[in-house]
Structure 1
Amino acid sequence: MMLSEIRANTLRLAKQWQVRLSNISTREENMTTPMNVSRRNFLVGAGTLAAIGTAAGLMSCTPSSSVEEASEQSNTGTALKNAEETKECDILVVGLGASGLMAAYGAASKGANVIAIDTASDMSGVTNVRTSGAWCVGSSLQKASSGDQLTIQEAMDHINDGTNYQSNQKTLRAIFGASGRAIDILVDNGMDFRTDFDVTGDAANISTRGVHWYNLTGTDRAAVFQNVVDGAGVECLFGTTAENIILEDGKITGIQCDQGGTVLDIKAKAVIMCSGGFLGNEQMVAEKFAGAKIVVMGNEACVGTGINMSIAAGAQIGKCFSISMNEYGGANDLATPTYAFRPGTGSNDAMRLTVFGTLMVDAEGDRFINEGFVCERCMFAAEPFVREKYHYAIADSALMSRYASEPASNFFGDERMKSMFAETVMSDILDQFDKAVNEGWAFKADTIAELAEHFGLTNLEQTVSDYNTACEAGVDETFFKDAKYLNPIEKGPFYIVQSQPAGWLSLGGIKTNANCQALDADGKPIEGLYVAGVDADLFTSPYYQMASANGFCLASGLIAGESASASI
């Protein structure tokens, strides 16, 4: 390369880093980690992205500055670790959740030599073992049904009409075109799905016509996933953590990993990022979700590795971020377990007050949402909750008596929850509430004033008074909640639960094209870098369609794998 070309490339990269500086999220403890960058090789940490500092330093170089000066300014940190082992492949997949599984299969099925890594110790620990279902279009199961088949046009219209065309249309179209094939691959490898595709008439809707519910759980489901990669000839490295991206002359050439304490370099012609988002990274969560502290229901090892590495390689972050919120109730880091879940799983039923339609307030003690909407569409009510670091659900003794004696299904508004909790009576909810008080996330008192004082809810007394007036009138003039949810808070003792938003995974990440190839700030594809699943900018804010997160992950992974294989 000519000297003038090197200088021009150096300045171009430095300017790109300056533009991206405000978009890069890193863990606070790693911000001071230095990094060595040379003209030939440089390495960027998954959490640190310390090359930002290098780029900022390079911006002081003028066109007349020598390359040696630029290089000297960049040599301010630690060098690339000496690899104790090196592996080579055509395509490396980071993560073996829904998108990673399909990416590995898609690439290998087209003849590529594929290595896939995951932090889990085996397939039973990957993120997709616990998901419920996938909303997809065009699977063999749908085609074989007697019901009205969901079409790609209907699916696109549904998402676009409901979100005002937030999605990247080319990518969305590609996802719907591939989603049915992804389901068929799972079925061919032994996956059993429960579906409602034969439902017709008024009972049929956009969900019944599209959702494939996983019928296998735990190790049985994991065995199917293992069949998928084994049959395609994928080499899976479990217990392996991606730590750094390796760049040579600005091009991605692999990932440096930690495998049980061993430094492992995996060299590849293309890398597919499927690391599962960033919900386990508190700093990234706070930055993307208005300071919220979201309780992780999924995998806490999902800390933004794929997103941050992609940014380090020159990729542009997207604009929409959301979560698939907990539909079973509330959450609190002080609780054991930390979030509400299915019946019989040991979660504290006091957490379910947040989805029962009762009075809810924010940190000032004011109402902030139509609680009936939360009751009926909790999974899709994330936006108001992530704006509140904490929210509070309030009940009186009359409501608590009902909760303890009636079927829990009476209080859920979501039809799926009603069915799941039809046989459940929370008969020991008062004892569970006492446990919550001892853990520090609930309180019981004889007066509303005491509740307000305990959690510092300045306006709570007036809010309860106004709310009771609305209940008596049967009309909510504030947020227009349906009268069936207007239950007064007037009979002591009174109960309050402090809750945080909880989610299965973060949604939103790197901009891609229809091939799931990462794009730079100018909208141009980055050679050798693909991003799929929740690491990619595939989703809307708020999350809109039940089970679409898993469906989008499966489909985008398949697209990324096949596209990467075709590119090498």
Structure 2
Amino acid sequence: MSNRISRRNFLKTAAAGAVSAAAAGVLTGCGETASSVSASSSAAGSTASSAASSAAEAVFSFKPGTYTATAYGNLSDVTVECTFTDTALTDVKIVSQNETAALFSQVEQELIPAIIDNQAGGVDSITGATNSSRAVKEAIADCVAQAGGDRQAWLAKTVEKSAGADEEYGVDVAVIGCGAAGFMASIVAAQKGLKVLTVEKAGSVAGVNGIKVSGPFAVDTSVLHNREGGTTLTVDEVFNHAMEYTHWTPNPSLMRRCLETSKYAVEELVKIGYNMQEATFRFETPFKDEKGGFHLINNSLDERIELWEKALDDNGVQVIYNCAAKSLIVEDGKIAGFTAEKEDGTQITVHASAVIIASGGFLGNRDLQEKFLHTRKLNAAAGGNSLCTGDGILMANDAGAVLCKTFGYCPCEYGGTNSKASRPAKQDKYDQNYCFKFGLYGNLLVDAEGKRFINEGLLCDYPMSYGSEQILLNAPWYGIVDQAYVDAMATQGLYEYTTARGATSENWFIGNYFKGRILDKLPEDIEEGLAEGWLAKADTLEELGEAFGLTHLAETVAQYNEYCEKGVDEQFGTNKWYLSPVKQGPFYAVQCEPSAWSTFGGIRTDDCCRALTLDNQPIDGLYVAGTDSGSLYYSPYYDIPGYCYGLCIDSGYICAEEAAKYIQA
């Protein structure tokens, strides 16, 4: 398989520290590392430089020496040490970083050698590691400036790429996307004796969202039966709750089939080496204890990458990374494959008897956000730019598949974000700017007019379900607090503050999650927010309102303070322990934008995951899995933890089953 770009052996030798997965199973960082790439050794390690044909002409002169600079990446500061002669950058040493190990190893092994070989700061970033790449580029550019070079010219110097010869493939099943749904579809289809080719935009499976999630929801699995006390959870119970919660909006037959399939999908993950346990989520949920169905993944991210790569290899799945599908091939009314393009412009044609679309939604496409969600303010929770730009949905629609009417998003539960912020809330590590906690801590929230728009407690208690819809509709929204509240959060934290006001473990389910989480860095984080322009500070409410055009802020605060004094929210019914008066200046406004792990909604499908036409006729050979499906999801997002991921792997499994039946009939 000449186009198989495997990282298994590469990762074993990459200079990256050990990784331990966080309990939630999200992106984790490696230990601090010190590694070096020099001009003499870079050529062997750089795939980007081998693809370069020429670089924009620019001549640099430097003051010979070694210089150090730091820039913030995806999860941490990245510090580099650069050595220069009078005419060239000759060595880049990573002094320290705490980024995702598997992704940062690509930055070290591919990006840095390309920068050195081409003496250019404008080389392409590593797909799927945008923030880490940007940090390294910026830090090196700062060193260029310290050495007397032209920083802007260095960053502006780009490298041209040359497309390779056109490529053509013939397979049974072609899969678009290798995230949660696409991975499952690929390996299950291969196990059924089908020849499978999968294309993925990211540079490796390390760059896909589905490998980083905390875990799926499933029923009747070996994991549940083996827990102490076993399980009494049934498909009927989950099905009835999900359909009632969604007012019977998703496809009921498909929903039931996914739940019935969930045990098989989870067993596939267990079979490849996943270690899972049933766990109680920190939010109040309808299913827990012997009725629990959330499967927490205990494997570290690096372990998962190894397991995915091995599973794809062992099952003979051919994967082409850094490759984006472009259009479906239709012959005699049937899907017969697709065209695609590699990152260097190489054109690919894939002939297939069936195509499974699992491209992950449209989070990275602001135009589709506006079209389907009526906002352009939804940011990627993992940071950077999402690779999911709705390609699969648009291709299927162009081929005659009809869109379903429900679109939504799987929200980030860790706080507000802002596209101008260097450290938005994106992971459960409390390493973001603490001010974004004021977007979901239950304090006063207002819309662009300065008016309240939600029961603020919902965003603290249920940030992924009941609290999520209004922040999308009212983005950007503003967290309003006074100095007294800032001081309380910086010294006590939300748990002590709120329990002192009447919240208990019996009536405040999420409370223990906040225990010991003190926002002690608020003073410096406030200064950062002011400098970046998404936070305002003023001595009066009138001045604060003027900062963001919140024309009704002063009157809103006056009314809100009356509710606080009464201990009763007469407008939206917020729990009394969240009612925090805004009286003691200076006052603060935090401009918040929502973020998501993914969008959902797209193509209407039947219970076989076949794409349907406007007349509800299946399109032969076209299947849709995961968040590209418009028939599985609801807005707001489910109140069941892991449900989005569960439906992704369930539908991927079903797509493989149905494609095999179709091809082998």
Fold equivalence (TM over 0.5)? yes
- The answer to whether 1:553 aligns with 2:648 is yes
How far the C-alpha of 1:420 sits from its partner, in A, is 5.1
User: Using the alignment, how far apart are the partners of 2:432 and 2:223 within structure 1?
Assistant: 35
Aligned residue for 1:246? 329
Aligned residue for 2:433? 348
Question: In 2 relative to 1, CA 208–355 (structure 1 residues): closer, same or farther, beyond 3 Å?
Answer: farther
Residue 341 of structure 2 aligns to a residue in which SS?
Answer: strand
User: Using the alignment, how far apart are the partners of 2:287 and 2:250 within structure 1?
Assistant: 25
1:196 and 1:208 in contact (8 A); partners too: no
Aligned residue for 2:443? 358
What are the Cα deviations for residues 485-543 of structure 1, in whole angstroms up to 9, with x where unaligned? 11100001111100011111001111111111111111111001000000001101111
How far the C-alpha of 1:360 sits from its partner, in A, is 0.3
Q: Residue type of the partner of 1:86?
A: E
Aligned residue for 2:461? 376
How far the C-alpha of 1:347 sits from its partner, in A, is 1.1
Pick one of 420, 425, 441 that aligns with 1:339: 425
Question: In 2 relative to 1, CA 335–227 (structure 1 residues): closer, same or farther, beyond 3 Å?
Answer: same
Residue 133 of structure 1 aligns to a residue in which SS?
Answer: coil
Aligned residue for 1:539? 633
User: Using the alignment, how far apart are the partners of 1:277 and 1:290 within structure 2?
Assistant: 15
User: Using the alignment, how far apart are the partners of 1:180 and 1:90 within structure 2?
Assistant: 26
Aligned residue for 1:449? 542
2:450 and 2:550 in contact (8 A); partners too: yes
Question: In 2 relative to 1, CA 475–424 (structure 1 residues): closer, same or farther, beyond 3 Å?
Answer: closer
Aligned residue for 1:117? 199
| Root-mean-square deviation (Å) | 2.3
Aligned residue for 2:212? 130
Alignment of 1:154-165 (within 5 A): 154-165=237-248
What are the Cα deviations for residues 405-425 of structure 1, in whole angstroms up to 9, with x where unaligned? 124545799989655553432
Residue 471 of structure 1 aligns to a residue in which SS?
Answer: helix
Aligned residue for 2:476? 390
Q: Residue type of the partner of 2:352?
A: A
Q: Residue type of the partner of 1:553?
A: C
Aligned residue for 2:183? 101
Pick one of 251, 262, 265 that aligns with 2:346: 262
2:414 and 2:428 in contact (8 A); partners too: yes
Residue 520 of structure 2 aligns to a residue in which SS?
Answer: coil
What are the Cα deviations for residues 452-493 of structure 1, in whole angstroms up to 9, with x where unaligned? 011001110000000001111111111111111111000011
- The answer to whether 1:304 aligns with 2:390 is yes
Residue 339 of structure 1 aligns to a residue in which SS?
Answer: coil
How far the C-alpha of 1:287 sits from its partner, in A, is 1.4
What is the aligned residue count? 484
2:408 and 2:601 in contact (8 A); partners too: yes
- The answer to whether 1:285 aligns with 2:369 is yes
Question: In 2 relative to 1, CA 188–418 (structure 1 residues): closer, same or farther, beyond 3 Å?
Answer: farther
Aligned residue for 2:139? none
TM-score normalised according to structure 1 size: 0.81
Residue 427 of structure 2 aligns to a residue in which SS?
Answer: coil
User: Using the alignment, how far apart are the partners of 2:304 and 2:627 within structure 1?
Assistant: 21
Question: In 2 relative to 1, CA 543–455 (structure 1 residues): closer, same or farther, beyond 3 Å?
Answer: same
User: Using the alignment, how far apart are the partners of 1:410 and 1:182 within structure 2?
Assistant: 42
1:393 and 1:498 in contact (8 A); partners too: yes
User: Using the alignment, how far apart are the partners of 2:379 and 2:539 within structure 1?
Assistant: 30
Residue 171 of structure 2 aligns to a residue in which SS?
Answer: strand
How far the C-alpha of 1:130 sits from its partner, in A, is 1.9
How far the C-alpha of 1:250 sits from its partner, in A, is 3.4
1:102 and 1:557 in contact (8 A); partners too: yes
Could you say which structure has the greater relative contact order, defined with CA pairs below 8 angstroms and 6 or more residues apart?
1
The worse-fitting range, judged by mean Cα deviation, of 546-555 and 234-243 is: 234-243
2:408 and 2:635 in contact (8 A); partners too: yes
User: Using the alignment, how far apart are the partners of 1:177 and 1:435 within structure 2?
Assistant: 49
Residue 477 of structure 1 aligns to a residue in which SS?
Answer: coil
User: Using the alignment, how far apart are the partners of 1:105 and 1:435 within structure 2?
Assistant: 46
The worse-fitting range, judged by mean Cα deviation, of 96-105 and 127-136 is: 127-136
Residue 288 of structure 1 aligns to a residue in which SS?
Answer: helix
1:292 and 1:386 in contact (8 A); partners too: no
Question: In 2 relative to 1, CA 416–254 (structure 1 residues): closer, same or farther, beyond 3 Å?
Answer: farther
Gaps of 5+ in 1: 1-80
What are the Cα deviations for residues 16-52 of structure 1, in whole angstroms up to 9, with x where unaligned? xxxxxxxxxxxxxxxxxxxxxxxxxxxxxxxxxxxxx
Aligned residue for 2:19? none
1:356 and 1:411 in contact (8 A); partners too: no
How far the C-alpha of 1:82 sits from its partner, in A, is 12
1:106 and 1:560 in contact (8 A); partners too: no
How far the C-alpha of 1:92 sits from its partner, in A, is 0.2
Aligned residue for 1:317? 403
Alignment of 1:154-303 (within 5 A): 154-196=237-279, 205=288, 209-259=292-342, 260-298=344-382, 300-303=386-389
Residue 522 of structure 1 aligns to a residue in which SS?
Answer: coil
Q: Residue type of the partner of 2:360?
A: G
Residue 316 of structure 1 aligns to a residue in which SS?
Answer: coil
Q: Residue type of the partner of 2:491?
A: S
Aligned residue for 2:573? 480
Q: Residue type of the partner of 1:536?
A: S
User: Using the alignment, how far apart are the partners of 2:250 and 2:577 within structure 1?
Assistant: 35
Residue 256 of structure 1 aligns to a residue in which SS?
Answer: strand
Q: Residue type of the partner of 1:366?
A: K
How far the C-alpha of 1:144 sits from its partner, in A, is 2.2
Aligned residue for 2:414? 328
User: Using the alignment, how far apart are the partners of 2:220 and 2:237 within structure 1?
Assistant: 12
TM-score normalised according to structure 2 size: 0.70
Q: Which runs of 4+ in 1 moved over 6 A?
A: 411-417
User: Using the alignment, how far apart are the partners of 2:287 and 2:196 within structure 1?
Assistant: 41
User: Using the alignment, how far apart are the partners of 1:126 and 1:427 within structure 2?
Assistant: 33
User: Using the alignment, how far apart are the partners of 1:476 and 1:310 within structure 2?
Assistant: 48
Question: In 2 relative to 1, CA 353–207 (structure 1 residues): closer, same or farther, beyond 3 Å?
Answer: farther
Question: In 2 relative to 1, CA 278–433 (structure 1 residues): closer, same or farther, beyond 3 Å?
Answer: same
Residue 213 of structure 2 aligns to a residue in which SS?
Answer: coil
How far the C-alpha of 1:113 sits from its partner, in A, is 0.5
How far the C-alpha of 1:227 sits from its partner, in A, is 2.7
User: Using the alignment, how far apart are the partners of 1:417 and 1:239 within structure 2?
Assistant: 41
Aligned residue for 2:488? 402
Residue 469 of structure 2 aligns to a residue in which SS?
Answer: helix
How far the C-alpha of 1:206 sits from its partner, in A, is 7.8
User: Using the alignment, how far apart are the partners of 1:419 and 1:305 within structure 2?
Assistant: 41
1:340 and 1:349 in contact (8 A); partners too: no
1:195 and 1:208 in contact (8 A); partners too: no
User: Using the alignment, how far apart are the partners of 2:490 and 2:248 within structure 1?
Assistant: 44
1:250 and 1:313 in contact (8 A); partners too: no
Alignment of 1:496-515 (within 5 A): 496-515=589-608
Using the aligned pairs only, state the percent identity. 35
1:533 and 1:554 in contact (8 A); partners too: yes
User: Using the alignment, how far apart are the partners of 1:378 and 1:204 within structure 2?
Assistant: 17
User: Using the alignment, how far apart are the partners of 1:266 and 1:548 within structure 2?
Assistant: 32
Aligned residue for 1:84? 166
Question: In 2 relative to 1, CA 207–230 (structure 1 residues): closer, same or farther, beyond 3 Å?
Answer: farther
Pick one of 431, 451, 466 that aligns with 2:524: 431
What are the Cα deviations for residues 255-297 of structure 1, in whole angstroms up to 9, with x where unaligned? 1111232111111111000000001110111111123420112
User: Using the alignment, how far apart are the partners of 1:557 and 1:99 within structure 2?
Assistant: 4
User: Using the alignment, how far apart are the partners of 1:461 and 1:320 within structure 2?
Assistant: 37
Residue 159 of structure 1 aligns to a residue in which SS?
Answer: helix
Residue 161 of structure 1 aligns to a residue in which SS?
Answer: helix
1:340 and 1:351 in contact (8 A); partners too: no
